[in-house]
Amino acid sequence: MKNISKLFLCAGLLFLNTGCETDDFLDKVNPNALNADSFWKDADQVGQGLIATYAALQFQGVMGATATTELPVRSDLGRPNNWNANARSLNTLTFNDNTGVVKQKWDSAYEGVYRANQVLEHLGVIQDVEQRQTVEAQARFLRGFFYYILYQGYNGGSVILHTSTPKVKEDFSKSPAPKEDVFQLILEDFEYAEAHLPKTWNANNVGRATWGAASAMLGKLWINEGEYEKAKGYFKAVIDRPDLYSLTPDIGWNFDEEHEFNAESIFEVPFSATAKSGNIYGANDGPIGSEGTNRNYTLGSTTGGGFRVIMPSYWVTMLFKEDPMDPTDPRYEADDVYSLRTSASIAIANDLGSTLYQKPSDKGGEYNNREASYLKKYQNWKMEREPLTMNSGINERVIRLAEVYLLYAETLLQTGGSVSEALALVNQIRDRAGVVELEAAAYDATALMEHIMWVEQPLELMFEGHDLRWESLRRWGKIKEQYSRLAAMKFTLDGQNIRWYQPGDEGKFFVVQEFVEAAQDYNPALHDYFPIPVTEQLTNPNL
């Protein structure tokens, strides 16, 4: 869908005419003005409204760079630099209802809901029944996805429900609905989408929501409710379609621009650094907007033209360093130090077998200020530096088959299913990553679930999707346990190299810890979900 430009829709705005009885000419309506009365006249215009709804996926609070770069730092996967207040507030759990990403995520998701509802209200102008049904399925998938973000993100799932576009001020000011009602709307939207979306699209429409995307999201909706049996069927349905989905031969194909919309991708959000050049702040509507994401310079190293606002945590960096290379894998070369998965995901100074911005890894990043690694996933690290436009065209993958493998394996382990089947799925992921397979004799259901939680998921899916890791930690009830575990760990920065702490390192090297504040202050009632933003509280009298 990179060839489909976003539309700046003003269809939801009411234009006020001013004037007096003697100045009738002032009451004339501009026939060229775009408003609710002049738009939504035919199927083409509804189609344009649908494209604008897809465009809301690019917004900063959904899959744009604010959400995808900042949210991981609240989990165990990211660490902030020393000077970014928003990132640090997430990492130390000092965020509140006025924190930037808390407000932006809410606003972006509700803008998407508003646009989806506009499309759904004007389906009647589409004469062709099949076309109308397909448009409705897409709009409902998107509305369900935006509400999924809100349901998983705020106030324990109790958020404001809009199933139609507000017409008067009072329509905007609604009380939060019970979480059960929000869940039911999401469920019904995804179920309709799953029943009516096509399995694939033609070349001109690649990137639109499909049956597989709806099935996967239904599985995610149910698994986060602890309904493993219900979730299992949806994940299995996707896995059982190898004609539609398969793991890519190279894990790096999932993070670059060259291999977008590949066989592993189930749903992704398209970006482009060239389709519409605009401001440097990422995708926005309007004439100064962009089709790119600014993740590149937010996370890139200084040498690569970025600001390294957030970096991989020390813990996950060590996890990557210890990802065991399979010595029988012919893809490795003599100078490779770390696994294929590691070199495709993060940059480490002593990774002699990889480069960063066309330099040896130790030269492509600064590794000062106690920095141990930089993100390579979804970065333009194969270029000399991040694009000078400060916008990147690399698509954000929302969900891919490897995640479905791990989720399905989890449902098997949680329902007394086949441990060997779950293990086989994990080993398929590890084979592709170039790492040693797990031995069946060493894993029962409990041990394999522990491996998925603390090894496979963070290594395979770090910094992917929308708040994916936080959802998982909360689903498992492991947030406090993980914070406490990580806060007790010590790491040593020996020059540019990070390693585990050894007694006697103090005074010779930097000895560092992380998540200490989070471990001390974590309170599920305060931190499992974001609060409703202060902007909503101030403007909504029913809160």
The reported pLDDT for the residue numbered 407 is: 98
pLDDT digit string, tens, across residues 135-169: 999 999 999 999 999 999 999 999 999 999 998 88
172 pLDDT band (50/70/90 cuts)? Answer: confident
The reported pLDDT for the residue numbered 29 is: 60
273 pLDDT band (50/70/90 cuts)? Answer: confident
Average pLDDT over residues 267-282: 78
Q: 209-237 burial, b if ≥16 CB within 10 A, otherwise e? A: bbbbbbbbbbbbbbbbeeebeebbebbeb
The reported pLDDT for the residue numbered 4 is: 42
The reported pLDDT for the residue numbered 82 is: 87
The reported pLDDT for the residue numbered 320 is: 98
Q: How much is the CA Rg of the chain, to the nearest whole Å?
A: 24
125's enclosing H/E stretch is none
Using the predicted structure, report yes or no on whether residue 286 has a pLDDT greater than 70: no
pLDDT digit string, tens, across residues 93-109: 999 999 999 999 999 99
* Residue recorded with tokens 């990070």: 498
The reported pLDDT for the residue numbered 20 is: 40
The reported pLDDT for the residue numbered 280 is: 58
If DSSP codes are grouped into helix, strand and coil, which group holds residue 114? Answer: helix
- The type of residue at 122 is H
The reported pLDDT for the residue numbered 60 is: 93
pLDDT digit string, tens, across residues 370-417: 999 999 999 999 999 998 777 899 999 999 999 999 999 999 999 999
Q: Distance between CA atoms of 344 and 304, rounded to whole angstroms?
A: 16
Average pLDDT over residues 171-179: 94
Q: What residues contact residue 236 under an 8 Å CB cut-off, 6+ apart?
A: 408
pLDDT digit string, tens, across residues 479-530: 999 999 999 999 999 999 999 999 999 999 999 999 999 999 999 999 999 9
Average pLDDT over residues 228-235: 98
* Maximal CA-CA distance, the chain: 91
The reported pLDDT for the residue numbered 277 is: 63
**Mean pLDDT across the chain:** 92
